[in-house]
Amino acid sequence: MTTRRGFLATLVAASSWPAISWADAGNPAFLAAAKDADGSYALFGLSMTGEDRFRIPLPDRGHAATAHPTAPEAVAFARRPGTFALVIDCVSGRLVQKLDAPTGRHFYGHGAFIGDGDILCTAENEIETGQGRIGLWSRSRGYARIGEIATGGIGPHDVKALPDDTLVVANGGIRTHPDSGRKKLNIDTMRPNLTYLGSDGTIHEQVESDPALHQNSLRHLALGPDGLVAFAFQWEGDPGESPPLLGLHRRGEAIQLLTADLSEQIAMKGYAGSIAADHERACVAITSPRGGRVHMFGFDGAFQGVVRRADVCGIGAADHGFVATDGLGGILSLVDGEVRPLAAQPRAWDNHLIAI
């Protein structure tokens, strides 16, 4: 798999490019937010083998982060309904800038870069109407807010950029209002969708799954090769049901929903917390902290197996396979269904492990 890091290393070797790169940041392979042993929150840069590369304090609980494609810079997002995003220089471990959601907006916790890294896109809630928005920020203009576009749905949670800068948005479908915290306001009528957007706001394509599964919140995304989009669900319907928690999609095709065998599907407890795709091994993994499980499927849709680990949630693809993090501080390597502990830190890793 060509990681940004690998790509960059090639580029640096080929041209002796003088610009500051991810190598100058100690080459972190992953970013992850955590609650530290003393109760404070921080963002960590981690090596491929789980060692700390840097620690940057966060003002409140974090959720996910997005790494700039070339510069050693990351944007860490508050957990919803937070209003801060922090631009962090991963070389110095310094806070470059704090972004505040505009009045009447809050962040959902994910974002992505487009335009060769010049435009940051942030998933947001227009609080008054509950309509999803992608906020657009210009990096070259000091992360000035330069506009926003509608996501074509409610509760856009995750957003990813395809190689042609089309944005893929997971409109989770759940309306929340900061006045009522994280309370879900529209479970009976929610209708999540997957939307492909141009940065001008044009909706190129929008797909929903089966109406019987309208309470399956489409929340997290991972990109495969050749336009493959994988997405993970969180079930808000009857807890006695065990719906699919993973879907695959390609533009112009129908959604393909994937399930494990019945007993494993039940054991996931209707909840996938994170998703990652391993291009080299052509597989995708979803985690369930509630079920204490990681499920792996091939890009062909075949269930490949399960790894059990309490409170596991963050997952990312590394050179050697998947790496997962958990709420007990563990960092684990998952290769061919075998678990190998890489590190155990005295902290609780938060929902996501972001591969750089």
Partner 1 sequence: MRLTLVALILSLASPALADTEAVIRDHILPGQAAFSAGTRALAEAAQADCTAAALQPAYNTAFDAWMGISHLRLGPVEEAGRYQAIAFWPDARGLTEKTLRRLIAEEDPVVNTPHGYAEVSVAARGLFALDYMLYDEDFASYEAGSYSCALVQAITADLADLAGKIEAEWLSGFAETLRSAGQPGNTTYLSAREVTQALFTQLTTALEFDADQRLGQPMGTFERPRPKRAEARRSGRSLRNVTLSLEALRQMASLLAEPPPAETLAAFDMSLKNAERLDDPAFAGVETPQGRLKVEALQQNIRAIRTAAIEEVGTSLGVSAGFNSADGD
Q: Which residues bind partner 1 (CB under 8 A)?
A: 35, 63, 79-80, 109, 157, 234, 238-241, 261-264, 266-267, 271, 273, 289-290, 292, 308, 310-313, 326-328, 330, 339-341, 344, 348-351
- Please give the structure tokens belonging to residue 9: 């290393």
Q: Which amino acid is at 75?
A: V
Q: Which amino acid is at 324?
A: A
- Please give the structure tokens belonging to residue 265: 């599907």
Decide whether 35 or 139 has the Cβ nearer to partner 1: 35
Distances from the Cα of 161 to the Cα of 123, 170, 207, 240, angstroms: 12, 12, 17, 35
As measured in angstroms, the least distance from the Cβ of 264 to partner 1 is 6
As measured in angstroms, the least distance from the Cβ of 310 to partner 1 is 6
- Please give the structure tokens belonging to residue 279: 């291009």
CA distance 191 to 279: 30
Decide whether 166 or 325 has the Cβ nearer to partner 1: 325
Per the CB < 8 A criterion, the answer to whether 184 and 178 are in contact is no
Decide whether 282 or 339 has the Cβ nearer to partner 1: 339
Decide whether 86 or 348 has the Cβ nearer to partner 1: 348
As measured in angstroms, the least distance from the Cβ of 193 to partner 1 is 19
As measured in angstroms, the least distance from the Cβ of 52 to partner 1 is 17
As measured in angstroms, the least distance from the Cβ of 90 to partner 1 is 24
As measured in angstroms, the least distance from the Cβ of 314 to partner 1 is 8
As measured in angstroms, the least distance from the Cβ of 262 to partner 1 is 6
- Please give the structure tokens belonging to residue 251: 């533009």
Decide whether 203 or 339 has the Cβ nearer to partner 1: 339
Q: Rounded to 5, what percent of the chain is helix, strand, coil?
A: 10, 50, 40
CA distance 127 to 163: 31
CA distance 58 to 36: 11
Decide whether 302 or 344 has the Cβ nearer to partner 1: 344
As measured in angstroms, the least distance from the Cβ of 340 to partner 1 is 7
Decide whether 141 or 340 has the Cβ nearer to partner 1: 340
Per the CB < 8 A criterion, the answer to whether 345 and 46 are in contact is no
CA distance 42 to 60: 8
CA distance 111 to 114: 10
Decide whether 32 or 114 has the Cβ nearer to partner 1: 32
- Please give the structure tokens belonging to residue 28: 């972190």
